[in-house]
């Protein structure tokens, strides 16, 4: 049982908008610790997609955006493309566990 | 270009030891904490631990699942970090990634390609 909960899967058609939620608690997201998001394409290493809740590293398209509210965070992908099909993970810090924690991951399927 | 490369993975019997190495290029190694993250086959990401830069004491932090068995070290003169894994268990089987970050709170970038550790008799 991860400290951060993500839906196992989401799907959308090309061009659509999808969101992936990351639900935590008062000891991680709710405490104000930053959320980071990763994209892992099949057979490859994770890639930083969003850092510090809502910032995009250089080279990441602005179709990807992050937000945070209360004890939850969301990753939104607009203008869905076939190449976005991947696993997505959220990451934060948990003060009770004194550990970096990852969500269980969400598999995005582009229909 | 910022790059990270892991090595040292392989097949090892339960109870034995293995040391992974991580080398970096494209940034000043000594200025950053280095973290290890693993991914069991078909599973999600699991934080293993990190070592702070010498400027922040060079101290280490570990996940509860590996504390007391795994040790992270660094050699700034060679731009290398190491993950010494002792008393390996079958549940330690995973791809191990090395990545750059700052303490508990930062995002991790870049990631290496990973090195597979298989613990089996």
pLDDT at B102: 80
- Residues A39 and A18: their CA atoms lie apart, in Å, by 14
* pLDDT of res. B98: 97
Question: Rounded distance, CA A101 to CA A35, Å?
Answer: 10
Asked whether the predicted pLDDT for residue A1 surpasses 80, the reply is: no
- Over 80: is that where the pLDDT of B85 sits? yes
Alpha helices per DSSP H over chain A: none
Look up residue A111 and give its DSSP letter: -
Distance CA A79, CA A107 (A): 17
> Which of A29, A46, A90 to mutate against chain B (most B CBs within 10 Å)?
A46
**Cα–Cα dist B97/A61, whole Å:** 25
Task: Using CB atoms, pick whichever of B47, B64, B105 lies closest to residue A102.
Answer: B47
Read off the pLDDT of each residue in B52-79 and give the average, rounded to a whole number: 96
Q: B18: which 2 tokens?
A: 């293995």
Share of chain B above pLDDT 70, in %: 100
> What's the CA gap between A85 and A6, in Å, rounded?
16
* Residue of A99, A104, A107 for testing the chain B interface, max B β-carbons within 10 Å: A99
Q: What is the CA radius of gyration of chain A?
A: 13
pLDDT tens digits for range A8-30:
999 999 999 999 999 999 999 99
With beta carbons under 8 A apart, name residues in chain A contacting B107: 34, 36, 48, 50-52, 91
Q: Taking every pair of C-alpha atoms in chain B, what is the biggest distance, in angstroms? A: 42
Cβ of B16: how many Cβ atoms within 10 Å?
A: 11
Cα–Cα distance, B36 to B103 (Å, whole number): 12
Chain B CB within 8 Å of residue A70 CB:
no
């Amino acid at each position: 049982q991860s400290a951060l909960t993500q839906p196992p899967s989401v799907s959308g058609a090309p061009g659509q908008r999808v969101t992936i939620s990351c639900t935590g608690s008062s000891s991680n997201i709710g405490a104000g610790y930053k959320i980071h998001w990763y994209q892992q394409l099949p057979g490859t290493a994770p890639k930083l997609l969003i850092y510090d809740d809502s910032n995009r590293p250089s080279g990441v398209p602005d179709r990807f955006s992050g937000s945070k509210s209360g004890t939850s965070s969301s990753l939104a992908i607009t203008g869905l493309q076939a190449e976005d099909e991947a696993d997505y993970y959220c990451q934060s810090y948990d003060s009770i566990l004194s550990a970096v924690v990852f969500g269980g991951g969400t598999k995005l399927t582009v229909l | 270009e910022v790059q990270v490369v892991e090595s040292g993975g392989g097949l090892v019997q339960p109870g034995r030891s293995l040391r992974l190495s991580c080398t970096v290029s494209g940034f000043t190694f000594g200025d950053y904490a280095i973290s290890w993250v693993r991914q069991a086959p078909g599973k999600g990401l699991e934080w293993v631990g990190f070592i702070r830069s010498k400027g922040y004491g060079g101290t280490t932090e570990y996940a509860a699942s590996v504390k007391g068995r795994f040790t992270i070290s660094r050699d700034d003169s060679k731009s290398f970090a190491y993950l010494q894994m002792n008393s390996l268990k079958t549940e330690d089987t995973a791809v191990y990634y090395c990545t750059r970050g700052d303490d508990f709170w930062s995002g991790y970038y870049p990631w290496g390609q990973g090195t597979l550790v298989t613990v089996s008799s």
